Amino acid sequence: MNLILRPVAAEFSKILTTRMWWILALVLFGYIALIAGGLSALFGGLQNGSISPDAVNTGGGADLSTLGTLPPLIYSFAASVGYVFPVLLGALATTGEFRHQTLTPTFLATPKRGRVLGAKTIALFAMGAALGVVGLAASVGIGALVFSGFGIDPLLADGETWGLIGRTVLAMAIWAVIGVGLGVLVPSQVASIVIVLAFTQFIEPLLRFASTFTQITADIGKFLPGAASDALVGESFFTLASPGGALLTSWQGGLVLLAYGLLATVAGYFISWKRDVT
Amino acid sequence: MPIGAVIEFTNITKKFGQVTAVNDLSFAVEPGRVTGFLGPNGAGKTTTLRMLLGLVAPTSGTATFGGLRYRDLPQPLNTVGAALEAASFHPGRTAAHHLGVYTTAAGLPRTRVAEVLHTVGLAEHATQRVGGYSLGMRQRLGLAYSLLGDPGVLVLDEPINGLDPEGIKWIRGFLSSMAAEGRTVLVSSHLLSEVQQSVDDVIIIAKGELVHSGPLSSLDTNIAPQVIVDSPNRDALVTALTEAGLAFTSGRTGLIVAVPDPGRVGHIAFTAGVELNVLHRQKAGLEDSFLALVEGGESL
C-alpha cells in the first residue's frame, strides 16, 4: 500500500509547497464570482422586472425567460467556464517536472516511473475536485446570494441542484487529469499553456459551434471534451446558447471526458515520461 | 553504519542516434575508498552516471549496486545517494520543502530533512526559496538530497563545481570521512586537480571509452620525467646540448631536456665547460599524466 500512498503523498506535497495552486484557486474564484454574480443579477433583474427586457439585446435569439431554470445555469459556470483552471494546474504540475528537471530527484526516490505518473494522476484528480469546490463556492455562493436578493428561489433545497454540484466537482477533477495527460504529451511548459488556452478559449468553442450546422458534425461535436464535460455536468450556458448542439447523456459524457484524460496520460507516458532523463 | 556496495559497470554502452556517447565501459568501484571518475567535458561521465541511476536506459550492458540495478533496489534512497547537476529544483519551493517531498516519496522520517540540511551547512537557509540560492548553496542542497537515506553508496556528479574555497575544503574532508566509514564514494570531475587531494582511485574516460583505471599513484609513472637545466651563459648551453644531439625546448625557468637523467645533462655541460645554475629532474605532474591519457584517448 505504501508503494502508491507514498508517491501520492509526495505529489500532494509538490503541489502544496509551491504557490501555483492557490493563485489558480484565487483567480478561479474571482472569475467565476464575477460572471455568476453579474449574470445572476442580470437574469434576476429581468425575471422580476427591475430590468426591462427592452434594455437588453438578446441578439434575436431565445427569450431569456425560456433559458431553463436560472440557478442551475448560473451554478454550472463553475465547470463550463472554470474548467480551464484544473487543466492548467495539471499541465503545470507535469511540465514543471520537465522544466525544473525535478524528474531526476523524483525518479531517484521512486524509480518505478509508471507509479509516479499514477500518483500524479490521483493527486491532481483530488486537486481538480478541490478547484471544483472553489469554483462552486463562487458560482453557487455568489449566485444564490444574488438570486435571494431578487426574491428568486436559489433551489438550494433541490436534490437536483446538489446532483449538479457533485457532477461539477467530478468534471473539474477529470479536467485536472486531462491536464496531466496534456503535460506528458507536450512536456514544454509554454507550448502546453498555449495549447490549453487556445483550445479551451478559442478552438473548441468554435468547433462546437461549427459542428451544430449539420447532423453528422453534431454527432461528432458532442464528443469534444468541452461538450462531454457539459453533458456530464448536465447544464451549460453554451449548450443553451447553441440549441442545435447535441449532447451525450451525463454518464456517457463523464466516461468520454475520463477517456480523454487517461488516453493522453498513457500516450504521454510512452512519448515523454519513459524517455531518458538527461 | 551503512555498508557500501560495490558499483559494477559491465560492458555498458549508450548510443544517441548515430553518436556513441559511452562505449563498452567496464569497471568496478570499491567501498571504503573515494573513486574519482574523470574525463574532459563531453567524455560521457554524466551519461554513465545517469545509466547507473536508471535515468538513462543503456543501449547495452548493465550497471549494478551489489548486483542489483538501481530500479530493482528495494529502498533506493537508503542504498544510494546521488547528486547530479545543480539545477534540479523548483525555484519556488524552499529547501526544506524540496527535501520534504522526496522524504515523503521514499518513506523516510521527516527528521532527516533538518539533519541533512545541518550536515551540509544550510540549516539557516532551510525556509528560503531555492530560487534565491547561489550555485554553491544549490550544490550543497543537491548533496543534502543524496544524504537523505543515509546511504552506503554516494554518487556525485561534479560536486565541487561552484563551491567557494571553504566549501571545497569542506567537501574534501566530507568525502574522505564518508569513505572512511566504509561507504562507496564515486565522484566525477573534469579536473583531476579538483579531486586529487581526496581520491584514492581514479577511473579516466575519454570519448566514452575507458583509458585508465587504478589507484591515484598509478598515474605517477605514466610520463617520462624531464630535466630542467639553465646557465648564466644560455647560448653556450644551447650549443653544447645541440652538439650532444639532445632534444630540448625553452622553458620559463630554463631549458627542458627530454631525458630522464640529470647526470647526463650535467656531464655534457661539464665537458663543454658551461657553468650551470639550474639542474634538476622534473617529474610530470599528475595533471600532465591525466591530460596525456585523455588526449591519447581523443586520438583513438
Measured distance between the N- and C-terminal CA atoms of chain B, rounded to whole angstroms: 44
* Angle, in degrees to the nearest 10, between helices A159-185 and A84-99: 30
CA dist list (Å): B283 to B224, B246, B262 = 8, 18, 12
In which band, very low, low, confident or very high, does the pLDDT at B228 lie, cut at 50, 70 and 90?
confident
Residue B179 has pLDDT above 90, yes or no: yes
Residue B266 has pLDDT above 50, yes or no: yes
Whether A101 contacts chain B with CB within 8 A: yes
Of B91, B97, B102, the CB nearest to A109: B102
Distance from CA of B131 to the nearest CA of A (A): 11
Whether A19 contacts chain B with CB within 8 A: yes
pLDDT for A185 equals 97
Q: Could you tell me if residue A155 is inside a domain? A: yes
Alpha-carbon distance of A177 to A125, in angstroms, equals 6
Cα nearest neighbour of B106 on chain A:
A109
Placement of cell 542516434 in the chain = B17
Q: Chain B: which residues have CB within 8 Å of chain A?
A: 46-47, 50, 53-57, 70-71, 73, 76-77, 82, 84-85, 87-94, 97-98, 100-102, 104-107, 145
Alpha-carbon distance of A66 to B105, in angstroms, equals 54
Alpha-carbon distance of A175 to B244, in angstroms, equals 86
Nearest partner of B237 among B251, B255, B263, judged by Cα: B255
Of B56, B88, B104, the CB nearest to A105: B88
Give the per-residue SS3 of A146-180: HHHHCCCCCCCCCHHHHHHHHHHHHHHHHHHHHHH
Range B290-294 average pLDDT: 80
Chain B residues with CB inside 8 Å of A104's CB?
55, 84-85, 88
CATH (residue range B7-219):
3.40.50.300
pLDDT for A62 equals 45
Placement of cell 455536468 in the chain = A233
Residues of chain B with CATH 3.30.70: 226-283
Residue A165 and residue A157 in contact, taking contact as beta carbons nearer than 8 Å? no
Q: Which residue has the higher pLDDT, B120 or A278?
A: B120
Residue B228 and residue B276 in contact, taking contact as beta carbons nearer than 8 Å? no
In which band, very low, low, confident or very high, does the pLDDT at A135 lie, cut at 50, 70 and 90?
very high
Tally C-beta pairs within 8 A across A and B.
84
Range B229-241 average pLDDT: 90
Write the CB contacts of A268 (distance below 8 Å, at least 6 apart in sequence).
Answer: A94, A181, A182, A183, A184, A185
Alpha-carbon distance of A143 to A139, in angstroms, equals 5
Alpha-carbon distance of A257 to A47, in angstroms, equals 35
What does the angle CA B83 – CA B87 – CA B88 come to, to the nearest 5 degrees? 65
Task: Name the 3-class secondary structure at B153.
Answer: strand
Instruction: Flag if B76 and A277 touch (Cβ within 8 Å).
Output: no
Chain B residues with CB inside 8 Å of A17's CB?
93-94, 97-98, 100-101
Instruction: Flag if A106 and B105 touch (Cβ within 8 Å).
Output: yes
CATH (residue range B226-283):
3.30.70
Instruction: Flag if A277 and B56 touch (Cβ within 8 Å).
Output: yes
Instruction: Flag if B56 and A2 touch (Cβ within 8 Å).
Output: no
Distance from CA of A89 to the nearest CA of B (A): 15
Alpha-carbon distance of B191 to B182, in angstroms, equals 25
Range A123-138 average pLDDT: 98
HSE, CB side, 13 Å, CA atoms: give it for residue A42.
14
Of A13, A102, A111, the CB nearest to B76: A111
Alpha-carbon distance of B126 to B110, in angstroms, equals 14
**What are the tens digits of pLDDT across the range A138-169?**
999 999 999 998 888 888 888 889 999 999 99
Q: Which residue has the higher pLDDT, B90 or B161?
A: B90
Residue A74 and residue A143 in contact, taking contact as beta carbons nearer than 8 Å? yes
Range B162-182 average pLDDT: 91
Mean pLDDT over each residue of chain A, to the nearest integer: 89
Instruction: Flag if B73 and A111 touch (Cβ within 8 Å).
Output: yes
Q: Could you tell me if residue A173 is inside a domain? A: yes
DSSP B154-190: EEEESTTTT--HHHHHHHHHHHHHHHHTT-EEEEEES
Kind plus residue range of the DSSP H or E element containing B287: helix B286-298
* Angle, in degrees to the nearest 10, between helices B135-147 and B165-180: 10
Instruction: Flag if B94 and A17 touch (Cβ within 8 Å).
Output: yes
Alpha-carbon distance of A84 to A93, in angstroms, equals 14
**CA B183, chain centre distance (Å):** 17
Task: Name the 3-class secondary structure at A268.
Answer: helix
pLDDT for A57 equals 57
Residue B210 has pLDDT above 60, yes or no: yes
Cα nearest neighbour of B59 on chain A:
A276
**Which three three-digit cell numbers place residue A89?**
494546474
Report which DSSP code applies to B64: E
Whether A114 contacts chain B with CB within 8 A: no
Residues of chain B with CATH 3.40.50.300: 7-219
**Which three three-digit cell numbers place residue B39?**
574525463
Percent of chain A with pLDDT over 90: 65
**What are the tens digits of pLDDT across the range A195-246?**
999 999 899 989 988 888 888 888 888 899 999 999 999 866 666 655 555 6
Residue type for position B116:
V
Range A254-272 average pLDDT: 97
Write the CB contacts of A190 (distance below 8 Å, at least 6 apart in sequence).
Answer: none
Residue B283 has pLDDT above 80, yes or no: no
The set of long-range contacts for B247-256, using a CB threshold of 8 Å and a minimum separation of 24, is B253/B228, B253/B278, B254/B228, B254/B229, B254/B230, B254/B278, B255/B228, B255/B229, B255/B230, B256/B226, B256/B227, B256/B228, B256/B282
Structural domain range at position A168:
2-273
Backbone angles phi, psi at A246, to 5 degrees: -90, 155
Nearest partner of B72 among B56, B53, B50, B59, judged by Cα: B53
Which runs of consecutive H residues, i.e. helices, occur in chain A? 2-16, 20-48, 70-75, 77-80, 84-99, 103-109, 113-149, 159-185, 189-198, 204-211, 215-221, 225-233, 237-241, 250-268
Q: Kindly give the pairing relationship between strand B19-29 and strand B34-38.
A: unpaired
Backbone angles phi, psi at B252, to 5 degrees: -65, -35
